[in-house]
Amino acid sequence: MSRFKLYIEYDGTRFRGWQIQKNARSVQGEMSFIVKKVFYPAEFDFQGSGRTDAGVHALRQVAHLDVKTKLPPEIIRMKLNDELPADINILGVEKAPQNFHARHDAVYRSYVYQISRRRTAFGKKYVWWIKDKLDIEKMKQAAGLFIGMKDFQSFTDDDPEEKSTKVKVEEIQMKESGDLILIRITGSHFIWKMVRRIIGVLAEVGRGKLTIGKVEEFIKTKSGEPAKLTAPPSGLFLEHVYYKDDKKSPELTPLIQI
């Protein structure tokens, strides 16, 4: 078998997430169906760098594909894209070493969240519209509390696939761009709903409804409060999956124009 590295973008609006699920549309499930169709009757293995939640988008998800074929990478990309639905697109395919693993070899990941300060006719699927005025400086102050190795037990639901709720957050960047507030979170990995709950908490700080001290409490002791503040998936994008020697993400810029 040959191993290939795939770079994939998708609009998560109509998916129940990345991972294959029974009786639900998933990105991995849709792609596996198409891979099977293109390479039939060859056996294959297809795995992603990690899960994304229902409704969450990806600018550059990474996966690896093991399949016995003589087709060159560019032809594989074209054949798969010809069969895939419009909300999934393969950006690139390249040969990978046999020991490359999309998930295990990932060094860290980055997500970008888009908050809109105005109602938008075109960007509704890709932003969270917040009517209230937000104090960006207070949000930046609160964001600093999440940097480093922390226990995010208050920012996730019980997940049998996760052995630990400890995650190292490398950086949180925040930027205003017109009517958008952009937030990039980079970390070693992310657990279920973690990013959306961090965003929800930051938004409440920005609204003036949560204090910095309360955010510190959420990090130090387990609390069910962040779950009530979970930001909608519409504004969240898996931006980049980093491997050894990968360059840092470019400047933080809007993913859509509103």
**Which residues are known catalytic residues?**
53
Using alpha carbons, list the distances in angstroms from residue 107 to 80, 232, 242, 255.
Answer: 27, 27, 6, 24
Instruction: Return d(Cα 216, Cα 186) in angstroms, integer.
Output: 20
- 255, two tokens: 């993913």
Percentages of the chain per state (helix, strand, coil), in multiples of 5 = 30, 30, 40
* Cα–Cα distance measured from residue 115 to residue 199, given in angstroms and rounded to the nearest whole number: 9
Of 56, 183, 171, 161, the C-alpha closest to 116 is 183
Q: Cα–Cα distance between 104 and 198 in angstroms, integer?
A: 25
DSSP SS3 for 195: helix
Evaluate whether 146 touches 183 at the Cβ level (below 8 Å).
no
Give the DSSP letter of residue 205: H
Q: Residue 44: beta bridge partners?
A: 67
Total Cβ atoms within 10 A of residue 31: 26
As a residue count, the chain comes to 258
Please give the Cα distance from 176 to 179 (Å, whole number). Answer: 7
